[in-house]
Structure 1
């Protein structure tokens, strides 16, 4: 939240069971208050909303777990990444057990383009698990 933002107060009505779950989340995650938790949930929801619209520029990660012994998979993943090279800031992979790699791509761009990239990577045969996680802001430009 920018320092110049003023705090606005509003009232929210929730079923008691939902409020109990919110209070449990506040305690488990260590939020200082319900307000802090609700603000975090609102930010997450706004990022998801922006990604559905696809017009906002955001940053985030794409995480993949895949079998590196699957014939042609690494070449296919590399080819897809080359097609989207302007969106990929950096990537790394880590060797896991049982012929698996964990690959993490740091990405930035229009949310709709990042989702398209993630979908192409995640749906490759041999990718066992994939997820995209977007933030509300972008990475500052390097000068």
Structure 2
């Protein structure tokens, strides 16, 4: 009897949800349903939640200095003289925000580098801008998430 009582008390953790209703033009609903199926979302709600989270993070990035975690991903020409040293110097200069980095050599003297960053949104954006605009960087993108890593030291 006690075992069945314990089992009945164990409930999956669920966050409270609110239901809202939205109106969509037919073509937008068809496109949404197609994306839900193609990407493997369980429901329209899950897809819309994901899109809303991304937009809210983008809004925070533009309007607040909230601490966020993310990545700066760049593709660069590793034949550009001094570029790798400039990237390393920039990462060292921003040691508090650049947590880690990984680079992979690709075909055709191209390198992809991913930097794990954390800090105030505007500061991380400034770092991304500094890296992405270096001569020899082909393209780059900052991706932020509304989350934080646990402190390394107490």
TM-score, normalised to structure 1, is 0.93
1: CA distance, partners of 2:64 / 2:109: 35
Change (3 A) 1:142 1:79: closer
RMSD: 1.3
Which residue of the partner structure matches residue 40 of structure 2?
Answer: 30
Task: Work out which of the residue numbers 99, 107, 117 in structure 1 matches 2:117.
Answer: 107
Which residue of the partner structure matches residue 74 of structure 1?
Answer: 84
Which residue of the partner structure matches residue 52 of structure 1?
Answer: 62
Structure 1 counterpart SS, 2:138: strand
Gaps of 5+ in 1: none
2: CA distance, partners of 1:54 / 1:111: 7
2: CA distance, partners of 1:12 / 1:140: 37
Question: Structure 1 runs of 4+ off > 4 angstroms?
Answer: none
C-alpha displacement at 1:5, in angstroms? 3.1
Gaps of 5+ in 2: 1-12
1: CA distance, partners of 2:119 / 2:47: 27
Give matches, 1:87-102, under 5 Å. Answer: 87-102=97-112
C-alpha displacement at 1:4, in angstroms? 5.8
TM-score, normalised to structure 2, is 0.87
